[in-house]
Amino acid sequence: MKKVVLLICAILMVSSLSVFALNRKKGDIKHGKKIFREQCKACHDGKHAKKVRPAYKTRAQWKRYLKNDGKKLFRKHEKAKVKLNLTKKDINDLWSFCYVGALDSEKPQTCD
């Protein structure tokens, strides 16, 4: 019985750590906007790559895309042979900007 309880506690503790991976309240929205303009919008203009704007996804969609230090973001760009130079802080700042400008936010952003 003790082992089961310890296992459940360990699972809960590990799963709770992932909740803190993206913390929009600690992210710098202005820096996130700068990153979006320089690193995302530069290619995602409709000519080089499909247009992407914060308002193109909901908050939940952005969170899934950027969670785990941007694992999905890096994987998709790696397939396209595009190298991204983003730190964990940059990913969190980008998440903060996308959160406030997402489709389901109070003020969806096009970043134009």
Query: Which phi and psi (to 5°) does residue 22 adopt?
Result: -110, 115
Half-sphere exposure of 12 (CA within 13 A, CB side): 6
Rg (CA), the chain: 16
- pTM of the entire structure? 0.74
Mean pLDDT of 67-96: 92
Kindly tell me if the per-residue pLDDT of 8 is higher than 90: no
N residues, the chain: 112
Per-residue confidence (pLDDT) for residue 2, from 0 to 100: 62
Q: What is the token pair recorded at 86?
A: 């983003």
Residue 21 has pLDDT above 90, yes or no: no
pLDDT of 4 > 70? The answer is no
Separation CA 83–CA 40 (nearest Å): 12
Residue ranges of the domains in the chain? 2-101
Q: What share of the chain is helix, strand, coil (3-state, %, to 5)?
A: 65, 0, 35
